[in-house]
Structures are given as C-alpha cells and as structure tokens.
Structure 1
Amino acid sequence: MDDKTVVKSGSADGTGDSAANCPKRVLFEDALTLAKFGRFNYALIAIAGTVLAAVMLEMLSISYVIAVAECDLELTSGQKGILGAMALAGTIAGSHLWGFLADTLGRRKVIIPTLLMTNAVSFASSMMTNFWMITICRFLTGFFICGASASIYAYLGEFHNQRDRSRAIMAASFVHSIGCPLLPGLAYIIINQSWAFTIPILDIVYRPWRLFLVICGLPGFISALALLKFPESPKFDLNQGNVKRATETIQWMHRFNSGNAESPLQIQLILGEAEVQPSRDHFKGAKAVLELIWNQTAPLFKRPYLHKTILMCFLQFGTYITAHGMFMFFPGLLDQLVKAQEAGIDRITMCDIVYAHNPLEASGQPICTQSLSLATYGYSITLDIIYVLGFLVIGLLINAVGRLAILVFVFTGCGACGVLAVLVDIPLLSMWLYIMMMMSGFTVSVVSAVTVDLFPTSLRAMAVGISLMCGRIGGVFGTNLAGLLLDSQCELTFGITCSILLLCSVLSFFIPNINKKVQPESS
C-alpha cells in the first residue's frame, strides 16, 4: 500500500491482518485501535483510579480530623468550617493554572509534580500545631492536588479511542470508588487508637490523627512513582508537533498489550486533527505567560464553546453542592437520626430532629473528642460501598444506555430522594433517603467524560479544570449554605440543593450530541 494511504475508521479494528501488514499512515483514533485494549490500558486505568482516590483522601480526610483535633489545634466552631473548606478553596485557586499548564507543558508534567508536592504538604500539615499553620497547609494541599485531579481525566482519555474513552474513565472512577471505604476504614483503625507521644524538637503531641493525615497522602505518592514509567499522552505530543514521540508511544502501547507476541506495529506517521497547541518556545516572561493563559482560556468563553463551557460548569456546580457541601454534615446528621431511633422515637421527621438538637455549648468551648462512634464509621462505609457498586454498574452500562440516561437518572433520583428525606417521618427511612441523595457524586465522572469529548485536545484539560473549579465553588457554596441554614431552615436547605439537582437533570438534555452513538472520532 502506498505510504500516502490513510486508513479510515472502519478498517482499523485491530483484527484480521497481522500488525506487520498495517498501513504506514493512519489516523490517530485508528492507531489507538490498532494498539488494542489490553494490559497497558488496565494498568493506566488502575493508576488513574488511584490518583482519583488520592484526591478524595486529601480532600475529605480533614472532615475526620476536625472532629478529634479541636483541642490540639484549639479550634472554634467557625474555624472548623474554615478548615473544612480550605482544601476546596485551594483547588479553586489552582484549577485554572494547572489546566493551562497541562495544555501547554503536558498532562504528565503536571500530574507527577503536583502529586509529589501534595504529599509533601500533607505530611507537613500533620505536624502543624495551630489553626493558621494547618489552614495554610490544607489550602496548599488543595492547590496542588487539583493539578492531578483535572489533568488525569484528559491524560487517561487520550490513550483511548472514543469508543473506549468513557468506559475507561468510568473504570478509573470504579477503582477510585473501591478506595472510598478506605477513608472511614483508616479513620476507624487509626484515629480511634489512644496512643500519644511527644516530639520535643517540634513541641507537639503526636496523636493518631496526625498519622492518619500521613497515611492518606500515600496513594498520591505511590501513583506519582508509578506514572514515572508511563509516557506523555500521544494526543498531546501529536498536537505539539512531536509526531515521532506520539508514534513511539502507540508502538510501545501495542508491545505492552500484545506482550511482544505480535509483529511490531508498522506505522510511521499519525495524522491528527488540525489543532494549534501553544508552543513552549513562547513561554517566556510574566506578560507572555499571562497572554498564553488568556489565549488558552478565552476560546472556552467564545463561540462555539461558550454554551458548552457554561453547561458543564453548572452541572459540576450543582453536583458538588450536594456531593460535597451536604456531605460535610453527613456523619453528624446521621448520628442524630441514629440516636432518635435508639431513644425509641419511631415517628419524627429528620428536620424535627435537627431542630431539637442544639449543637452549641454555653461556654463556647469545644468538647475534647478523641474518637468517633462506631455507627458513624459504619454508615460512612455503607455509603462508600454503594458508591463502589454504583460506579461498577455505571461503567458497565454507560455505553449501552448512554450518558444522558445516566445523568438524568442520577440527578432526578437523588433530587427526589432528598425531597422525600425531609418529608417522611420514619428516621430509618429518612436516613437511607439521605444516603441515596449523596449518590449525586456519580455524575462528576460522567460529566468529566462528556467534557473530554466536547472540547478539542488543545482546550480539553483547561475545560475539565474550569468545570471542576466551578464544581468546587459549588462545594464551598453548599457547605456554607448548610452551615448557615440547616439548624434553622432545614427544609429550605434540602429544597435548594434538591431543586438544583432536578434542574441539572433538565439541563442534561441540552448537552450537544449527548444522544450521539459513541464511535471513533475523525482525527
């Protein structure tokens, strides 16, 4: 076959003829298909899932620490709220920068350093002795971890053709969900221990919660080391004009997947879409950097991408209001429901229980709690197990039923469960409906997968980063909304969050090409 022949999607199925007979010039999507789906993909999915689990551990571990470190850090109620939201504030501050760097320097060059820096700052936060020091550390933890959080979706997606992309991202989310029970499990094993010792040189009492923060940082460190063995995204290299390295990466993928059992993949050139990627040669001076950031961001807020950007941002915003904002009050509210049951109260609404509970101490001083009840951990683990099973089901069904069906079902179901949770007067039923409302977090990965498909390679990481930044703004909004209103306007709090979820369900119908059948994209 002539070297100028370009293979179309239909012929590049990776079956039939041996790899040695492959045409020398193929489209990028077809090259990924020829490389096949195998051990490389499974390994990358496992690592990406571990990165997402690391993000979860870094973001949510502080919720357990706040409850048991209030005396060590001399925390007031207001300071607890600030500390709980600080990691999210850090991700908001860093999302734009890391999205820009991932689109200009490379996905891998952002993911690995940010994971290592997160681990270092997380370790430092475990040694802090007062509110302001640990607050700064948690802000930096969020600032660095968001670099890996946004970039890993684009990095993973660009090693897969469009047919497998959504499934790969959902598979990584399933791996992440397996790690979710680790958080309450580790908290129960570590935090509930009673040992303590003094480190004179640092003038701190080292308690289990400090070790807990260190352990929660290990998955990110391990993921960074694992990614040292993996190449840069071939799609990124291709759009940077580095055709040789992109070709070598796909050939390496093929060798990894085939185990050298097949002839080497004979391709010399990969043709990609005509996208202009910012050049690192112009990455000089503060003004030039700001211009590059603007040039990388501005297209997302202009036609033809403006409506897509706004839509993806709002869907993430609405998801995080419930999945993160309301989650911060999950253990405490469930504890109140459990206590109502144990007291023999069979008929009472959840909001009546909230109104009957007065969390304020007359002295204004925190109660020195060094451990949490077993029931709190038990229900947290139950929630995480449901997440594991849910991500598994979604990963298996997403190609068959489509992303629209998943989004509408989750948004509508979670919104309805939230409304019912405050209406029913059976504490046990209210508790399970509240747990079901927390399942709105399923849509974060689905919306991210949709975002990857909606934007070109040159804008992809930035688009995912900005949408997740808006999601985190929603998390901060939801946390403060619940903190301000839950004790006095419980029904209104749930009404606002559930209405936003139902609105997200309606808006899902307006996602461009959401009903389009997934097939290899033309490169």
Structure 2
Amino acid sequence: MDLNEAVSKKPVNLEEALRKCGFGMFNYIFISLAGGLMACAFLELTSINFVLSIAQCDLNMSTREKGFLSAIGYVGVILSSHLWGFLADTKGRRATLIPSLIIAFISTFMSSLANNFWLLLFLRFANGFFISCASSTTFAYLGEFHDNNKRAKVLMIASIIYSIFNVLLPTFAIVTLNQDWSFYVPLIAVTYKPWRLFLLICGLPSLLCALVMIVLIPESPKFAYSQGDEPETLKILRRIYRLNYRKSILLYEVKSIVKDDEFNSRVQARPKGFLNFMWSQSLPFLKGHHLRNIMTASFIQFSVCNAANGFWTFFPEFMNNISTWKESSRDSATICEIYNTLSVHNNQTENVLKCKQNHELSTYAHIYEVVIIYGICYLIMSLLINWTGKLYLIIAIVLPAGISALLLIFIKVPTFSTYLYLVLLLSGLTISVVNASTVELFPTKMRAMAVSISMMMGRLGSTTGSMVIGLVIDKHCSKTFLMPMFLLIISCLLAFTIPNINKRRN
C-alpha cells in the first residue's frame, strides 16, 4: 500500500494531528518518564542532605560547610536555568535533556568518590548545574506531545507520579545508609562507605531516564514544527501513532500539516545572541502591572522555597536528634535545645556525641510521612483548586506553616515539635498554586519566562535558606525559625494583592 493512498490528502493543523495519534502506550510511557525526570532533580538535589551528618567526620566538615554543601546544588540550578531554556528552545528538548542527564550522573558518580570537602562541593555544583535542565524543561516537553484538551490533565498526572517516585529517596536511604561496612580504595585514597553508595544510587535514575529517552522518546513534534521541519514532524507523529495503536504508520491519516504563524516561527524570530534574546524576553516585566505581578509571585516563591527547601536540608538531622533524645528518656526540651546538646561540632575540642554512622529508623519514618503527605495533598489540591480558588489554598498552607515556625521556638514537647516541623515543610505545596496563578496573569508570549523568573527566585530562596541556617544555627538556632515565620506571614498578606486570585472555576 502506498503511503499517499492510506492517508488523508487534506492538511490538518498540528493540534488535530496530535489528536489523530491517539492516547495509549506512548503517552503512558512518556507521562511516567516525565514524573521520573522531575524526581531525578529531586533525588539529585536533596540526597546530599541525608549524608551530611554521616559524612561530616569523613570529610572534616563544620556545620557552616554542611550548609554550603546543601545549598550548592541550588546555586547550580539558579545559574543554569536560563541557559537550559535557551538551549531547549534552539537545539531541541530531547537534544538538551539527554546529554545534561548523562553529565549529571557522571558528576554524581565522581562526587561519590570525592575525598575532601572542596572537591565534593564543586561536583555537587556541577550536578545541580546539569540536573537543572530536567526540572526546567520537562513540563514543556511533555505538554508539547498532547493537544489542548489533554495537556493540563497530563501535567497533573505527571506531578502525582513525581510524588510517588519521591518515595525512592527515603527507601534508598534506609536500604544503604544504615549498613555497617567500609573498604579502602588505595588508587584514589578513599574509604568507601554506605553514604557514598547512597549518592551513586540516587544518581542512577538520571542515567536510566536518559537511556529510556534515547530508545523510546523522540524530539517534540511542536519543536520540529516550529523549526519549519514538516517531514520530521510527521515522522514523530507517525512513531507515536504506531506505538499507541499498534498499527502500521501507513494507516496514519495525516499527510500534511497546516503552516500557521507558529510554523518556522522560532527560526525567524530568534534574536541574534543569547544576551539579546534574554533582554528582549525580560524587558516587558519591567513595566506596569507586569512588574508588580512578577515581583509578588517571585517573593512568594522565594519565601516558600526558603522555608520548605531550606529547612528540609536539616530535617534528617533534626529528626535524628529528636529520636535520640526521646530514647534516652531526657526531660522536655525545644527542638533547638535538643540540637545544641546533641549535634557534633567539629571545631570544638569537646564532642558531646560521637560522629554519627547512620540515622535512627524513626528518622526515615518521618521522611516517608513528608513524601506521602505531599503526594496526598497534591491530589486533594488538584480536586479543590477550581472549587475553592487559589487564595484559600495559599492561606490554608502558608499561614499554618508560618505559625508553626514561631511555635517551634517555644514548644518543649519533642513529638509536637516533629509535627510542627512537618507543617513548616508543607509550605512547599504553595509552589504549584503560585505557578498556576502566574500562568493566568501573563499573556502566552510571557508565560514561560514569568514562571522561569519566579521559580529562579524560589531556587534562590532555597539556597539562601540553606546557607543562612548553616551559618547561624550553631549559635542562634532559635532565631533561624524567625526567618520563615516573617517571610511566610508577609507572603500570606501579599497573596490578597494578586489579581483574580480568588477566582473560581466550574
């Protein structure tokens, strides 16, 4: 059968061509992969937090250095976010993601063999720099394989899968970190311990996702279309059709695609030079109501990431200390009193506690709680957001988190402090709500950059939170909780100023 005889001769637009590909095996694989790609960024950026208290004696790290090490990955993410967006728009989503994932894994592999703090710091920066591509490009890549009717639903499902994959982090930790073994590698003068294996395991999903993309996932059809490459666009669409329907590509009905304004648009409109591109995209945000809106969204993202991601850095250590304290049947104490008593201070001549070689099992239980609660809350929020409006969701998340930060300074019941800390970490749920609001506030040509700017400020908040906590927690532990309290309360008030924030949809 000739191909031209099996397909419709009438050109169709790209949205209709995507619909004719159906929804099946390819989509299921790609949605799962997208959730996995986002989880890769989570695993790579947060795995270091699990080994800080265990590796500090091996690498002679102070509390300040642990704060830097926890934050350095986010520094890499901040510095590379715009670069990956530019490369994904000019070179392609797939062509950018695959090498960045592979290099991110290589940097993780090398960091698992680092024998001093400064080498580990550099390699974790490199890892954050390259894994940033997965966190900033995945949503656009996934959305471009689906038509307008399915796109929002598909992105929501990918977020839920992302939450499910996040369970891998405490699972990897509990399987590896509590083992008691070591061996010396004379070639690189490193004593290999479970925490090094844990870092390596958390990097393996990045390599696995890259291999899956090489074998199964083509370039975005919308990217190929925007580059003016109709033959490549049709080739991609036929590949999707074959996987979804398990039929020959000869039966795919589309022979030609309508050339609208988007066809070849990125080739024609691309400014000369990276800096010119950045300036032309950023200039509208410096004017009028766009400036006010982007500043509000950026401040809220900075605040919630500062609270959620910044304090997540020390969550395993805080929980481990509380568990140790409760088991020793000591008197009631605040979370900071417990920390000041039990934490190791490498710069002091007298150690209160021996260097930790593993975490208490209850520490992992609390981490499971956070991950599972996040997944449940994402599901509930997806069902409620149109009914309640975004304002009530933001207040319901941010206000209790800010109050919890204040109470943590005074509460002397360790179990109660544990759950107050969990509420503080849940402030990160606001990130998706603010992103949804940001998309609605800006016109199509500004939306991607608006979300990119606000999320870049969020990552800056994560970095600032980790560094500030690491710098001051030893001498001023209680005061560290004042930072998220003030930021979250101000964010709660600013939420009322966002246009149409209380709008509800049927």
2:369 to 382, 388, 392: 382
Using the alignment, how far apart are the partners of 2:335 and 2:57 within structure 1? Answer: 30
**Amino acid of the residue matched to residue 257 of structure 2?**
L
1:121 matched residue in structure 2: 107
2:197 is aligned with 1:211: yes
Kept after mapping to 2: 8 A contact 1:239/1:458: no
2:74 aligned residue: 88
Separation in structure 1 between the aligned mates of residue 374 and residue 390 of structure 2, nearest angstrom:
18
Residue 231 (structure 1) aligned with residue 218 (structure 2):
yes
Q: CA–CA distance in 2 between the matches of 1:274 and 1:31?
A: 15
The code of the aligned residue for 1:108 comes to R
Residue type of the partner of 1:290? L
Contact 1:73 1:129 (C-alpha < 8 Å) held by counterparts? yes
Show CA shifts across 1:8-43 (max 9, x none): xxxxxxxxxxx98897433x4455455444433322
Which residue of structure 2 lines up, in the alignment, with residue 53 of structure 1? Answer: 39
CA distance in 2 between partners of 1:466 and 1:341 (Å)? 43
Report what 1:314 is aligned to: 299
Q: Distance in 1 between matches of 2:221 and 2:394?
A: 30
Q: Alpha-carbon deviations, 1:455-480, whole Å to 9, x = none? A: 67766555444333211110111123
**Change in CA separation of 1:400 and 1:459 when aligned onto 2, cut-off 3 Å:** same
Choose the corresponding residue for 2:121, options 135, 149, 152: 135
Paired position in structure 1 for 2:276: 291
Q: Name the counterpart of 2:227.
A: 240
Find the aligned partners of 1:160 and 1:508 in 2 and give their Cα distance. 32
Counterpart amino acid of 1:88?
A: Y
The correspondence of residues 102-501 of structure 1 with structure 2, limited to 5 A, is: 102-228=88-214, 229-260=216-247, 264-266=252-254, 268-270=256-258, 277-279=265-267, 288-301=273-286, 305-342=290-327, 349-350=334-335, 353=338, 360=345, 362-363=348-349, 367-398=354-385, 403=390, 405-422=392-409, 424-449=411-436, 451=438, 462-486=449-473, 492-501=479-488
Deviations 1:207-257 (A, max 9, x none): 111111111111111111112222222333333333454455445444443
- With normalisation by structure 2, the TM-score equals 0.84
Aligned partners of 1:23 and 1:457: how far apart in 2?
29
Quote how far apart the aligned CAs of 1:377 are: 1.8
- Give the letter for the 1:192 counterpart: N
Q: State the shift of 1:72 in Å.
A: 2.4
Shift of 1:429: 2.4
User: Could you tell me which amino acid in structure 1 is paired with residue 363 of structure 2?
Assistant: T
Deviation at 1:156, TM superposition (A): 1.7
What is the deviation of 1:426?
3.6
What secondary structure sits across from 1:478 in the alignment? Answer: helix
The Cα shift of 1:435 comes to 0.6
Match of 2:27, as an amino acid? N
The one-letter code of the counterpart of 2:425 is: M
Q: Is the 8 A contact 2:160 2:379 kept in 1?
A: yes
The alignment yields a C-alpha RMSD, in angstroms, of: 3.6
**Number of aligned positions between the proteins:** 497
Change (3 A) 1:348 1:134: closer
- The range that moved more, 231-240 or 466-475, is 231-240
> Which letter does structure 1 place at the counterpart of 2:254?
Q
Identity of aligned residues (%): 37
Distance verdict in 2 for CA 1:30–1:473, change over 3 Å: same
Contact map agreement 1:167 1:399 (CA 8 A) in 2? no
Give the secondary-structure state (helix, strand or coil) at the position aligned to 2:146: coil
Q: Which residue is equivalent to 1:76? A: 62
Q: Distance in 2 between matches of 1:472 and 1:165?
A: 26
* AA in 1 matched with 2:220: S
5+ long unaligned stretches in structure 2: 1-5
User: Alpha carbons of 1:450 and 1:166: their partners in 2 closer, same or farther (altered >3 Å)?
Assistant: farther
Question: Which range moves more in the overlay, 291-300 or 202-211?
Answer: 291-300
AA at the equivalent of 1:388 = G
Q: Residue 269 of structure 1 aligns to a residue in which SS?
A: coil
**How big is the shift at 1:141?**
0.5
What is the distance in 1 between the residues matched to 2:454 and 2:335? 33
Q: Which amino acid letter does the alignment assign opposite residue 318 of structure 2? A: L
Check 1:302–1:158 CA distance in 2 against 1; reply closer, same or farther (3 A cut): farther
Classify 1:76/1:440 alpha carbon distance in 2 versus 1 (closer, same or farther; 3 Å). Answer: same
- The answer (yes or no) to whether the contact 2:17–2:257 under 8 Å persists in 1 is no
Match of 2:3 in 1: none
State whether residues 422 and 430 of structure 1, in contact with CA within 8 Å, keep that contact through their aligned partners in structure 2: no
Matched residue SS, 1:198: strand
Offset at residue 511 of structure 1 (A): 4.9
1:25 match: secondary structure: coil
Alpha-carbon shift at residue 140 of structure 1 (Å): 0.4
